[in-house]
Structure 1
Amino acid sequence: MIFKTVENLSIPEIAQLFNEAFADYFVKVELTPELLQSKIESEDLRTDLSIGLFHNEKPVAFMLHGLRETDGKKVAYNGGTGVIKEFRGQHATVKMYEKQLSILKEIGVDEIELEVIDKNIQAIKSYEKAGFRKTADLDCFMGKPNEPAKNSGLRIQEIQSFDHQLFQSFWEWRPSWQNATATIEKLTDSITYGAFIGDELAGYLTAYPKGARVLQFAVAPNYRRQGIGSSLFHYFADTVSGEINVNNIDDPSQTTQRFLKAIGLKHFLTQNKMTLKL
């Protein structure tokens, strides 16, 4: 058993390893090489900084890590950790993080963050042994939104440019790594819809249609409780087949969670955000 980075594995090889490790996971996870490539690019994942565990030259476990500057700190993000079934129960995650930490410390990383499903007790214990501590609950929702009440003064249309400064002025809480603006700017297949009252932007919703996933959404403070958020969700849902999903809601006030339930989405899991300061 040896540890080394996964930079010499091809994208199809990493995708196969990812899918094999998550074959019996709590929720269905299946990545095509194309989706994995998009994930790597948009989440700033670095295979040269990501540790794998190899047995007889075959990869049997991995942890993918990305790197960004956030609020003046160098932050690493665990974009996925997996161990194939035959090699579990051998403390592989803790051992990989021992190697992973030395790589990240060497390049001056200040902290690492990750998400783990709250029912995945074994993984949480492994991360705690590696030094991680829970810092937030992240709620995930899915479903088909209810049809909103008509608002004759509301116009929804696609926005071609992502105005980060304006959108951020609508926020009450910051999106997680997978939904961050830095991710969206690199996700070529994302689409943003704006809700306008006259010529004024009253709210927006950015989504990834391929995964029927809402990435960001917010309504300007002066336009809340006027059906704008629900109209945006319904508009997007009409463009995709099946249910939509919204992941990793980090709103301590629970206002966003109550809104999602009110428009007909159902909470289906909670993730723990965990952080390790180096």
Structure 2
Amino acid sequence: MIKIKRLVDCTIADAVTAWNDGFEGYFVDATTTPEKFLTRMVMEDLSPALSIIAFENIRPIGIVMNGVRMDHGQKVAWNGGTGVSKDYRGKGIGKLLIESTLSILQKENVSIATLEAISENTVAISIYKKKGYLVEDTVEFLNLNGKQKQNLIGEVKRKFTVERVALQQIGQLPFYKSTNPWQTRWQSAKSGEGLLVKEENGDVLGYAYYKKNYNDQGVHTGTTMYQCEAKPERVDAEEIIYQLIGCVFGDFTDNINRTVPNLPMNKSKKTYSALRKIGFETTAQQVYMVKEI
């Protein structure tokens, strides 16, 4: 008999087993450890009370990780991973997990449910569509690794004033993209740094936020840029975006890994185009799906 339990009522060992077995043979290696599992829950605001594990008797056979945040007065949920053990795939467990998740979210008065799914994962996408999720955009993980021979941005014609700010300030901007994928929102950039591009009169023209990653010896090994956007009506939006990218990644001569996660190809079209022109390459592509509850 299949039983659904909240993660808060389960052991970490069961959660890690459910996750690793659920993502066995997945498109990317998603293997975790108890330490990594707990760290991810904190960093991405995943809730043990809203996440669930499916059991057959005492064996964990499936998992859904869920988180909820407030956005403009309404609750928005994110599915941070749905996995089913290999032996139980194709037996309706995934459908049961999604139905149980939506029931929980409805009781929590969640207005919007979101998720990402690997574009090639047609089985999962089909299940989500049957449960009312709609594809809103295609998102890509972009990467540019290592020391580059020259500054890939070149000279920006006009120099704008750049100011360092707290991430919360960026979240208050009228053109901040709060509906971009969960992992790109300011709440996910914990210990990150924020930048504003300003006009001489103080008007904000664009923003970016990012996080530098260091190894155990304190050496800078990589930088992740979560969002980089210009004010929509600006005719010089491309220049603003290029200057922000330069402020985030420098002159590209550092031997580091540069990452941009889950960048929407349509909603952030200008940023996507700029990064591809610079030389960033796609490492993974997903569909961004949304359901009104």
TM-score range relative to shorter protein: 0.7 to 0.9
Aligned to 1:246: 261
CA–CA distance in structure 2, aligned partners of residues 212 and 161 of structure 1: 18
Partner of 2:288: 273
Partner of 2:153: 148
Q: Does the 8 Å CA contact 2:68/2:76 hold for their aligned counterparts?
A: yes
Partner of 1:41: 42
Question: Partners of 2:57 and 2:160 in 1: how far apart?
Answer: 60
Pairing of 1:193-232 with structure 2 (within 5 A): 204-210=207-213, 212-219=223-230, 221=234, 224-225=238-239, 227-232=242-247
1:209 is paired with a residue of what secondary structure?
A: strand
Cα distance in 1 for residues equivalent to 2:171 and 2:3: 48
Question: How big is the shift at 1:128?
Answer: 2.0
Q: How far 1:258 moved relative to its partner?
A: 1.0
Gaps of 5+ in 2: 214-221
TM-score by length of 2: 0.76
Between 1:2-11 and 1:141-150, the stretch displaced more is: 141-150
Alpha carbons 2:178, 2:185 under 8 Å: kept: no
Give the aligned residue type for 2:63.
Answer: F
- 2:188 is aligned to 183
Give how far 1:252 is off. Answer: 3.4
- The whole-number CA distance in structure 1 between the counterparts of 2:75 and 2:182 is 13
Deviation of 1:255 after TM superposition, in Å, equals: 1.9
- Alpha-carbon distance change, 169 to 130 in structure 1, aligned in 2, over 3 angstroms: closer
Q: CA offsets per residue over residues 9-34 of structure 1, 9 Å max, x none?
A: 34454344323322322223244444
Rounded to whole Å, the distance in 1 between the matches of 2:111 and 2:172 is 28
Q: Structure 1 CA distance, aligned partners of 2:24 and 2:193?
A: 30
Aligned length: 275
After superposition, what is the alpha-carbon deviation per residue over 1:209-233, rounded to whole angstroms, capped at 9, x for unaligned?
3474321223564674264134134
Question: Is the 8 Å Cα contact of residues 206 and 216 (structure 1) preserved in structure 2?
Answer: yes
Alignment-derived partner of residue 105 in structure 2: 104
What's the TM-score once normalised by structure 1's chain length? 0.80
Where structure 1 has 5 or more consecutive residues not aligned to the other structure, the ranges are none
Structure 1 window deviating more from structure 2 (71-80 vs 249-258): it is 249-258
- Residue 19 (str. 1) matches residue 20 (str. 2): yes
Structure 2 letter corresponding to 1:190: G
Structure 1 counterpart of 2:269, one-letter code: Q
Secondary structure, in 3 states, of the residue corresponding to 2:239? coil
Question: Residues 277 and 194 from structure 1, CA distance in 2 versus in 1: closer, same or farther, beyond 3 angstroms?
Answer: closer
Q: By how many angstroms is 1:124 displaced?
A: 0.7
Supply the AA of the counterpart residue of 1:207.
Y
Q: 1:28 to 1:233 in 2, by over 3 A?
A: farther
**Whole-angstrom distance in 1 between the partners of 2:252 and 2:284:** 20
Secondary structure of 2:116 counterpart: strand
The aligned counterpart of 1:54 is: 55
Q: Aligned partners of 1:57, 1:180: CA distance in 2, in Å?
A: 37
Take 1:24 and 1:209, find their aligned partners in 2: how far apart are those partners? 31
SS at match of 2:257: coil
**Whole-angstrom CA distance in 2 between matches of 1:66 and 1:164:** 22
- Residue 7 of structure 1 aligns to a residue whose secondary structure is helix
Identity %: 24
